[in-house]
Amino acid sequence: MRYSRAERIIQLALEMQSTRGGLTLGEIEEKFEVSRRTAVRMRDAVIRAFPQAKEVPTDDRTKRWRIPNGSAQTFTELTTEDLAVLETAAMAMKHAHLPSHAENLRTLSAKVRNLLAGDLLRQIDPDLEALTEAEGIAHRAGPRSFIPPVLFESIRTAIKSCRKVSFHYKTSTGASSSQRTVAPLGFLYGHRHYLVGKEAGVSKPKFFSLPSISNIKILRESFDQDPDFSLKDLVSQSFGVFDEPAQDVVWRFSAKAAPAARQFLFHHTQKYEDIENGELIVRFRAGGMLEMAWHLLKWGDDVEVLEPAELKELMPDTLFSWPALP
């Protein structure tokens, strides 16, 4: 068995042990990005390696498999790299202006260290310090608005208890504000951070910039979770966070920019088409024309918008030739 395949089998065993309800074949496909046939083979390999694995009874016809706790214990020993990843993630959250997330990660790191035996911790510490110091977080220009940790705490509490929240909300220019009452559905993190919520009488969820929210209160009024709502599905049709109808998008990159463009995931539906002269065509379907235009300006005159017309109109007539590509 190849090392990569063995690693995936071990990882699947750990996943099957850590989930209370077990995993379906569909979930294995999604987690490991494999075909149904490969998912079946992986499940069977785990069952052969761990005879205590069992099928979990469910109310529907969906089959789930789980390994009892402790069965894969020998594979869960912590390494220096595991702790270094936690420390680096905490630094990244701090630089992304998510202080409450950074603090939670540091607390988790401290709890994990407390679980380690003294001898092992003394062995790990020097390597951990070296790895942590070797990790850098690049500073990027962007909003530096402070988001109070209490804001995250209040929204999370409301989400868990299915309670609505009310808050003051400023416009992007700060010229005016309004009182909003929202059923909180989740968070969306990116260049800017948003609360995804639904207002009464509005069919679609909206995105509320977290730095623009103040005086938040958890209300007694409850709301029903929509079983068909998926945050992943909501954002999958957009380029960024602009909620617009999806359109066919086609960009042409110059031969110089083609190798760099191939390294970008512009959208999960994207497809490439190589042109004989070395140029590259990228196609996908999404909304969010304004955010696309902002991104394309980074490529200067090395990209041309072929479709849609709406995006073409947003692009300036003359583009710069930048000395370096994104």
Structure confidence by residue, pLDDT tens digits, 85-126: 888 888 888 877 787 888 888 888 888 777 666 666 677 777
Same domain, 8 and 71: yes
Q: 306 lies in which domain range?
A: 247-314
pLDDT of residue 71: 62
State whether 168 and 192 are in the same domain: yes
Low-confidence residues of the chain: pLDDT under 70:
1-4, 70-78, 115-121, 136-145, 172-175
On whether both 267 and 300 belong to a single domain, the answer is: yes
Res 101: pLDDT: 84
User: Looking at residue 61, what is its pLDDT?
Assistant: 77
Query: Is the pTM for the entire model greater than 0.75?
Result: no
- Residues 164-210: pLDDT tens digits? 999 999 976 666 789 999 999 999 887 778 999 999 988 889 999 89
- Whether omega for the bond prior to residue 308 falls within 30 degrees of 0, making it cis, is yes
Is 215 within the bounds of a domain?
Answer: yes
Kindly state whether residue 240 falls inside one of the protein's structural domains: no
How far is the C-alpha of 99 from the C-alpha of 266, rounded, in Å?
28
In-domain check, residue 140: no
Q: Is residue 233 part of a domain?
A: no
Q: What is the pLDDT of residue 218?
A: 97
Residue 242 lies in a domain: no
Domain count, the chain: 4
Tell me the C-alpha distance between 227 and 233, whole Å.
13
Assigned domain for 234 exists: no
pLDDT at 72: 60
Residues 161 and 192 in one domain: yes
What CATH number should be reported for the domain holding residue 68?
1.10.10.10
Tell me, what's the pLDDT at 322? 80
pLDDT at 144: 63
Query: Is residue 138 situated within a structural domain?
Result: no
- As given in the structure block, the two tokens for residue 309 are 């017309």
Instruction: Identify whether 241 is part of a domain.
Output: no
* Tokens linked to 166: 């009310």
Please report the pLDDT score of residue 174 as a whole number: 66
Residues 154 and 218 in one domain: yes
**What secondary structure letter does DSSP report for 86?**
H
- Predicted local confidence at residue 1, as pLDDT: 44
